Amino acid sequence: MGVRFSVVIPCFNEADYIAATIASLQAQQVVDGCEIIVVDNNCTDATAAIAQSLGATVVTERERGVCAARQRGAQASGGEIIVSADADTTYDPDWLDKIHHAFAADDRVVAVVGPCRYKDGPHWGRLYARLLFALVGLAYRLTGRVFYVTATNIAMRRDHFPGYDTNLTQGGDELDLLRRLRRQGRVVFDRSNPSHSSGRRLTRGLVYNMFVTLLVHYLLAYLLNRLFGRRVLGSAPAFRTSRRAGTRHWRIIGSVAAAALLAIPSAAQAGRVSDTYHSFLRHIRASAGQDGHR
């Protein structure tokens, strides 16, 4: 009998976290087996070596970006259920068992998702996550629909897995994936089965995370990349990089947000992009340099 679960973990320089993540997955109380697939997405530290030494399967994806990395891991997997996890996140011992029972209870279920909680970081961040997923849970109870998922906690039947759009970065492994999963069938939200993620990214502060991380690197990048069918805005700079790299993004953030938000409605209505906007995009790509990684 093959494995029941394939847990896919994309990694970019996660040597400080990956061992704890793998340990929590190896402690899962599942009978039918679980394989752990770590995707080395251009790591320059010991992430891959640590993962391999702990018994995980390590594969490589050179194209930068979380969607490309998750897609590579899914392609390398062999389990009946493909599970999306993160390298800085740990899981309760009954996490996969709860997912198993949710699938077993209804053959129409194509995906099982759960909330994310921050195990450290600022208090506002932990409160924000709890409020966000309380709203997701409330909406699910009222409508039977899931309106948001976290990529740290998604399980999908292989025969209904739609794949990741590798033109996308942030949001592609959550919003876009959810959109296409709902077309396949029923998505279940289990509020009692959280993931426990690092709050390290929240230490940059509320303003940065709301206006830069969420509005620009997540929502704006997702909308633009979907609109144009290619990477207009690349991945957010990795938190492991220096603050100097983050400061460069602050300098261009105003022009990116203002011009792009004005351009999206007109481009959608006209069905084309103006020459002026093409020039703007070339300017932004030149200013931003190479893509980062979540």
Residue 71 lies in a domain: yes
Secondary structure (3-state) at 130: helix
pLDDT digits (tens, 9 = 90+) for 63-85: 999 999 999 999 999 999 999 99
Residue 184 lies in a domain: yes
pLDDT digits (tens, 9 = 90+) for 6-42: 999 999 999 999 999 999 999 999 877 899 999 999 9
Global pTM exceeds 0.85:
no
Residue 227 lies in a domain: yes
Assess whether pLDDT exceeds 50 at residue 86: yes
Question: 180 and 239 share a domain?
Answer: no
Question: 131 and 253 share a domain?
Answer: no
Question: 180 and 164 share a domain?
Answer: yes
Instruction: For residues 48-74, give the mean pLDDT.
Output: 97
CB 212 within 8 A of CB 165: no
Instruction: For residues 263-292, give the mean pLDDT.
Output: 45
Domain range for 272 is: 205-288
pLDDT digits (tens, 9 = 90+) for 87-121: 999 999 999 999 999 999 999 999 999 999 999 99
Give the chain's mean pLDDT.
Answer: 83
Which of 96, 281, 121 minimizes the C-alpha distance to 193?
96
Residue with tokens 């351009």: 263
Residue 257 lies in a domain: yes
Structural domain count, the chain = 2
| DSSP-assigned letter for residue 12 | S
Assess whether pLDDT exceeds 70 at residue 227: yes
Indicate the residue among 143, 175, 197 that finishes a domain: 197
Which of 267, 264, 259 minimizes the C-alpha distance to 287?
259
CB 37 within 8 A of CB 57: yes
Question: 28 and 88 share a domain?
Answer: yes
CB 84 within 8 A of CB 197: no
pLDDT of residue 168: 84
Which of 15, 14, 10 minimizes the C-alpha distance to 37?
10
Percent of the chain with pLDDT over 70: 78
Question: 272 and 154 share a domain?
Answer: no
Question: 47 and 184 share a domain?
Answer: yes
Residue 293 lies in a domain: no
Question: 190 and 238 share a domain?
Answer: no
Indicate the residue among 197, 218, 250 that finishes a domain: 197
Assess whether pLDDT exceeds 60 at residue 285: no
Residue 294 lies in a domain: no
Question: 39 and 163 share a domain?
Answer: yes
pLDDT digits (tens, 9 = 90+) for 138-159: 999 999 999 999 999 999 999 9
> For the domain that residue 97 is a member of, what is the CATH number?
3.90.550.10
Torsion of CA 121, 13, 97, 151, to 10 degrees: 70
Residue 66 lies in a domain: yes
Question: 262 and 131 share a domain?
Answer: no
Residue with tokens 């896919």: 8
Question: 167 and 213 share a domain?
Answer: no
Model confidence at 222, pLDDT cuts 50, 70, 90, reads confident
Burial (Cβ within 10 Å: 0-12, 13-18, ≥19) of residue 170:
buried
Question: 191 and 220 share a domain?
Answer: no
Indicate the residue among 179, 197, 215 that finishes a domain: 197
Question: 106 and 147 share a domain?
Answer: yes
Residue 264 lies in a domain: yes
pLDDT of residue 234: 61
pLDDT of residue 244: 40
**Least confidently predicted of 103-107, 225-229, 258-262:** 258-262
pLDDT digits (tens, 9 = 90+) for 174-214: 999 999 999 999 999 999 999 999 999 888 888 777 777 77
pLDDT of residue 282: 52
